[in-house]
Amino acid sequence: MLKIQNLSVYKNDKKLLNDINIEIKNKEIVAIMGPNGSGKTTLSRAVINDPELKKEGKIFLDDLDITDLPTEEIAKYIYVAHQSPPEMEYIKTSILLKYLGIDINDIKEYVNKLGLPKDLLERAVNNRLSGGEKKKFELLLMLPKKYKVIILDEIDSGLDIDSLNTVNDIILEKSKESSIIIITHYTRIFKKFSPDRVYILYNGKVVYDGGGEIIEKIDKDGYRIFKD
């Protein structure tokens, strides 16, 4: 279980998140939604203890207080597929996989399943990949390993319908062993399944905590329904 208690987050003395309380149970699929700039990505960065952020409050993974643990230690338990994966032009993909302890033979089938370039392992990391392909590469890195929590930040951005269906299948499969947090401002990723719980962030605050039925309303009326 991931439990976020009374979390406020600051950067350069600017308050980005205000008194956030979120609870994600084991093997639960949770959506964290909201318009651009609402604090969704900031929340994922706070969970993994991004050193650029200052935090108040507590974050627990089961009985372990991870609030101030080093990011490298948290990464053993929590995987984050980032919103904007960087290119690493001087690092070969196969070398990165080896550094991460991933056996190349374990991911070859996933390269094909995700529709990634066949020469991916010989390329520099994220080199000559489209935005959607970079998102799929982020998924590729998590597939051979088991994490307690997987955070997918805007994973649906830049994906065509076939790729989105593949990603949905992967989410459902991984939810059998991990808690999944889907961060998005779109609703289309939920056409194939409904999350167990939805949190809506608006201006750095949780303004909704409830079931997936809210998604249809957002699809119809947008996030303006949460405007003060």
Domain ranges of the chain: 2-226
What's the whole-number mean pLDDT along residues 187-204? Answer: 93
Q: Are the beta carbons of 1 and 23 closer than 8 angstroms?
A: yes
- pLDDT for residue 5: 98
Report residue 158 as tokens. Answer: 């830049």
User: Which has more pLDDT, 58 or 132?
Assistant: 58
Mean pLDDT of the chain: 90
What's the whole-number mean pLDDT along residues 148-165? Answer: 89
Cross-sheet strand order for the sheet of 197-202: 78-81, 149-153, 179-184, 29-33, 197-202, 205-210
What's the whole-number mean pLDDT along residues 215-219? Answer: 92
At residue 8 the predicted structure's pLDDT band, cuts being 50, 70 and 90, is very high
pLDDT at 228 over 80: no
pLDDT at 227 over 90: no
Name 59's bridge partners: 4
- pLDDT for residue 198: 97
pLDDT at 89 over 80: no
Report residue 39 as tokens. Answer: 């604090």
pLDDT at 23 over 90: yes
Pairing of strands 29-33, 197-202: parallel
Least Cα distance to 134 among 197, 88, 183 occurs for: 88
Instruction: Give the list of residues 6+ apart from residue 134 with CB closer than 8 angstroms, or none.
Output: 85, 126, 158
At residue 92 the predicted structure's pLDDT band, cuts being 50, 70 and 90, is confident
- Report which DSSP code applies to 122: G
pLDDT at 87 over 80: no
At residue 120 the predicted structure's pLDDT band, cuts being 50, 70 and 90, is confident
What's the whole-number mean pLDDT along residues 140-167? Answer: 89
- pLDDT for residue 205: 96
pLDDT at 57 over 80: yes
As a whole number of angstroms, the distance between CA 175 and CA 97 comes to 23
How would you classify residue 116: left for phi > 0, otherwise alpha for psi between -120 and 50, otherwise beta?
Answer: beta
- pLDDT for residue 137: 84
What's the whole-number mean pLDDT along residues 75-94? Answer: 84
- pLDDT for residue 123: 83
Residue 187: CA atoms inside 13 Å, Cβ hemisphere, count? 14
Of 63-67, 120-124, 129-133, the range with the highest mean pLDDT is: 63-67
CATH of 2-226, one of 3.40.50.300, 3.90.1150.10, 3.40.50.1820, 2.160.20.60: 3.40.50.300
Instruction: Give the list of residues 6+ apart from residue 12 with CB closer than 8 angstroms, or none.
Output: none
As a whole number of angstroms, the distance between CA 52 and CA 84 comes to 17
How far the first Cα of the chain sits from its last, in Å, is 32
The neighbour count for residue 161, using CB atoms within 10 Å, is 9
- pLDDT for residue 46: 97
